[in-house]
Amino acid sequence: MSAKIPRLSSMDSQQKKILSFFRIRRIIVPVIIGLGVATYLLIRNFDRTAFEQVTWTGQSYFYIFLSLCLMAVRDIAYMYRLRVLTDGQLSWRRCFEVIMLWEFASAVTPSIIGGSAIALFIINREGVSMGRTTAIVMITAFLDELFYIIMVPIMLIWVGPGQLFLSEGEYVLMNTRFGAQGIFVIGYVFILVLTTIIIYGVFVNPRGLKFILLYIFKLPFLRKWRTKAAETGNEIIITSSEMKEKPFLFWIKAFAGTFFSWTARFWVVNAMLLAFISVGDHFLIYARQLVMWVILLISPTPGGSGVAEFVFSGFLGEFVPPGLTPAMGLLWRIISYYPYLFIGAIILPYWLKRVYAPKEKPPEKEDEAQGGMQYPKPV
């Protein structure tokens, strides 16, 4: 998909580079990967008897509709959080466009990279200062990780580690094979350390953290990334100045948006399964998705395409009749992933046209330019 962008010649190279993420090939690639893997799994595990036993009833349609409603709740909660973090600077409509484009960017980039760089560009083009934009993106990541850090021990206590890591399978990370539990522990510790660093940098000593980063990146094998470390230190200082003095109610609202968005996202699977089967332990399914999320975070494919379908079968296959797991995994992605590719592609041209539209001159300046009456400036 392409769109005409006004004043394209005046855009700097960084803007052009970021806009290249929104080309049609970036939509096609994850669709091909995801559908290809889903087709392979369907063919390999096809069971005619299992499909013949599936019956569409009024309950099926209700729970499919409920799963779509939960996706809407997820997005509305994200929009609410963005409104809170921008202090209401963005309208609900603009928050909707930002969130859809942000999700679109995340869907077409490898999960391990994410869409944060594109989010910086999108929010800044909405008229939010770069300093505040940097703070918003960093605090968004912080709140997501904080939710995860809090929910994991709660779910471990609720369902028990034996049930949580029942899924088999091995994953390769840094040329080393790990089981699901190993990947989960590594991911959780990494998120915990990263969140601790953000808390120290943003709320305790931002300049001290920058000094530590620069000191660490003096090491010979890290020196080539020292400039990036300095940029990260500056971003933390900016975030601290923007967020450190926010009232407690601000953080309650922001975390409430985070909690409802992630909870709705995970309950989509529960609602989808209820459309066809009887589900016994909803919290176990919820907890398994916490582990799935860590594995999807290190996916090298756009939006976790292909990897998500395999992981779904491994972690949630026991809740689905044999032969139906690949179909359920595909349905899950159709509900929770593919819509963002197409909604983002539809919104993008109109958003580009709006944010790059020439700004109208104020009437006073037009009068001055035409040699008309000049109004005195207010004192």
Angle at 321 between CA 179 and CA 268, to 5 degrees: 75
- pLDDT at res. 83: 96
How high does pLDDT run on average in the chain? Answer: 80
**Global pTM?**
0.82
303 φ/ψ sector (left φ>0, alpha ψ -120 to 50, else beta): left
State which H helix or E strand residue 212 sits in: helix 206-216
- pLDDT at res. 144: 93
Where is average pLDDT lowest: 9-18, 97-106, 138-147, 185-194? 9-18
β-bridge mates for residue 302, sequence order: 110
Token pair listed for 103: 């999700």
The count of other CB atoms within 10 Å of the CB of residue 130 is 11
Where is average pLDDT lowest: 10-24, 25-39, 180-194, 303-317? 10-24
Rg (CA), the chain: 23
- Write the single-letter amino acid at 292: M
Are 109 and 302 within 8 A, CB to CB? yes
* Burial class of 247 by CB neighbour count within 10 A (0 to 12, 13 to 18, 19+): exposed
Question: Hey, which bits of the chain come out as E strands?
Answer: 170-173, 176-179
Are 63 and 275 within 8 A, CB to CB? yes
> What's the rounded Cα separation, in Å, for the pair 326 and 5?
41
Q: What percent of the chain has pLDDT over 90?
A: 25
Residue 180: band (very low, low, confident or very high) from pLDDT cuts 50, 70, 90: low
pLDDT of 58 strictly over 50: yes
pLDDT of 283 strictly over 50: yes
- pLDDT at res. 221: 74
Among 3, 116, 103, CA closest to 344: 103
Q: Hunting for tokens 């399964």 — which residue is that?
A: 273
pLDDT of 104 strictly over 50: yes
Averaged pLDDT, 94-112: 87
pLDDT of 13 strictly over 70: no
Please give the torsion angle defined by the CA atoms of residues 28, 31, 32 and 33, in that order, rounded to the nearest 10 degrees: 120
Q: Which tens digits make up the pLDDT trace of 78-95?
A: 999 999 999 999 999 999
Q: What percent of the chain has pLDDT over 70?
A: 80
Count H helices and E strands in the chain, helices first.
Answer: 17, 2
341/99: higher pLDDT:
99
Where is average pLDDT lowest: 107-116, 247-256, 333-342? 107-116
The runs of H, that is alpha helices, within 244-337 are: 248-274, 282-297, 307-316, 325-336
